[in-house]
Amino acid sequence: DLGGQFPPGFKFGAGTSSYQVEGAWNVSDKGVNILDKFVHDHPTSIKDLSNGDVACDSYHNWERDVEMAAELGLDYYRFSLSWSRILPTGFPNKISKDGVKYYNKLINGLQAKGIEAMVTIYHWDLPLPLQELGGWTNPLIADWFEDYARVVYTQFGDRVKLWLTVNEPISFCDGSYNTGVGAPGVLSPDVGAYICNKHVLLAHAKAWRLYDKEFRPKFNGRVSLANNLLWIEPYSEEYTDLAELALQNSAGRYSHPIFSEAGGWPPGVEEVIAKVCLEKGYPRSTFPSFSKEEIELVKGTYDYYGMNHYTSRLIREAHPDEKLLPWPYGDAPDLKAKMTVSDKWPATVVPWFYVNPKGIRKQLAWLKQQYGDLEIMITENGFPTYHGLNDTARIDYYKKNLKQILLSINKDGVNVTHYTAWSLMDNFEWADGYTTKFGLYEVDFNDPKRTRTPRESAIYYASVIKNRSLDIPSNTTKPK
């Protein structure tokens, strides 16, 4: 049983993000962002001492990227906009003509091949001048983000119908501030992440409401955000409540305020965190509440659910003699719990990544149970390897995950409508630099042209897309 057919109208895509692929970090009038600064100031925090200055050079190779999307038969291509490429100062006092031109070429190039654009407005590359004013810890950022969103809706909204405001608050708030190992390199355990969380949610809400009021009437597109959902299961039955609390603390923290009927922080989480703040001597203000007005502002600001999913964890209370397995996004300082993995879940080349395809189906069921019958778009799912074109492990991962998604649609009645493979091509994989590869296409980073070559998984994915099921003929041919 391969799970049946994908429903009519189901759409397949692949994704990238600006800093990870564009390069051209200082061409024309592009401003400096926190990633540019971070990799230049802290070269040793990247495994291979690399950076995204050139990356895949998609700024110059966009035509090849479009061609690859066409070779795969993608219905849409997900990419992100570089805030400081469009607004060099971070503010709309100046709009870069060259920045806008680049994205116009890309969007029009896709359109010419019948490929839609799914555009992420923010994938972690905050303009440096905004960071210097406090970045995501300054409440005014909600308005700065809204101003930026207005520019991009105005410039691209006639052609872009699928928008994601922000990618993975858990990664850039919790991940960065709890460990200090990601840009902006500010270590503020316990405190920074929660302040960041609240402002990201307000920024998202303002950008969604702006679209809803001023742009939806003429452009009729849809807007959401991409949440990274780490599936968490109880280690044994006695930890069922703990696992639910951990899910609320990770998935729920960015979902409950937007997608639940009640709005605000998820059940249980605010209490636990308030207790921890108090125990550690922090004032309550370090985990900012939402006012009634803010709850209303954020609630309901979605047109669909955007879900990134990669891996799973088991959870139980920490035992003093056990080493805690870190969350992939820094510690969870508010939950005295141990994260571990099942011995049934194969490890990969990346320490945070274990393969548990059933996790994605359970995660989808959890979303439906928590927030009702939402339309869900999988905005990222993919698998890490080292170099090489013969990536059978990646094919296996895609096949098993897609099967679970099919079961979720066809057996559990979950309304999944889009699937985005991460990534279209190898790219700058954050702290791993270029050592970890997520690409359907291999990129030769030693070649100034950054030549892209399809992997076996690209051929596999292209045939899934063509057949609209996992039941594919064996004589599949290679994309050019």
Active-site residue, from 168, 294, 429, 442: 168
Cβ-contact 43, 102 below 8 angstroms: no
Binding segment for ligand BGC (CB under 6 A), chosen from 23-31, 137-145, 163-171, 288-296, is 163-171
Cβ-contact 252, 160 below 8 angstroms: no
Contacts of 219 (CB under 8 A, 6+ apart): 153, 157, 158, 161
Cβ-contact 242, 316 below 8 angstroms: yes
Binding segment for ligand BGC (CB under 6 A), chosen from 100-108, 164-172, 201-209, 313-321, is 164-172
Interacting residue with ligand BGC among 168, 174, 233, 442 (CB under 6 A): 168
Interacting residue with ligand BGC among 305, 438, 445, 460 (CB under 6 A): 438
385 binds ligand BGC (CB under 6 A): no
Which residues sit opposite 317 in a β-bridge? Answer: 337
Give the CA-trace dihedral at 440, 165, 201, 134, to 10 degrees: 90
Cα–Cα nearest to 298, from 322, 262, 268: 262
Q: Which is nearer to ligand BGC, 286 or 308 (CB)?
A: 308
CA 479, CA 458: separation in Å to the nearest integer? Answer: 8
Q: How far is the CB of 139 from ligand BGC (least distance, A)?
A: 25
Which residues sit opposite 33 in a β-bridge? Answer: 127
303 binds ligand BGC (CB under 6 A): no
153 binds ligand BGC (CB under 6 A): no
Helix (H, G, I), strand (E, B) or coil at 223: strand
Active-site residue, from 71, 380, 429, 442: 380
237 is catalytic: no
Interacting residue with ligand BGC among 17, 155, 227, 463 (CB under 6 A): 17
Interacting residue with ligand BGC among 33, 96, 171, 463 (CB under 6 A): 171
380 is catalytic: yes
Cβ-contact 255, 307 below 8 angstroms: no
312 binds ligand BGC (CB under 6 A): no
Cα–Cα nearest to 260, from 211, 300, 308, 204: 300
Report residue 173 as tokens: 């708030």
Q: Which is nearer to ligand BGC, 249 or 308 (CB)?
A: 308
Interacting residue with ligand BGC among 50, 155, 167, 301 (CB under 6 A): 167
250 binds ligand BGC (CB under 6 A): no
Cβ-contact 124, 167 below 8 angstroms: yes
Q: For the stretch 278-299, what's the b/e string if a residue is b when 16 or more beta carbons lie within 10 angstroms of its beta carbon?
A: eeeebeeebbeebeeebeebbb
82 binds ligand BGC (CB under 6 A): no
Q: How far is the CB of 418 from ligand BGC (least distance, A)?
A: 16
Interacting residue with ligand BGC among 6, 422, 434, 460 (CB under 6 A): 422
Q: Which is nearer to ligand BGC, 131 or 167 (CB)?
A: 167
Q: How far is the CB of 253 from ligand BGC (least distance, A)?
A: 16
Cite the active site residues. Answer: 168, 380
Q: Which residues bind ligand BGC (CB under 6 A)?
A: 17, 20, 167-168, 171, 228, 308, 380, 422, 429, 438
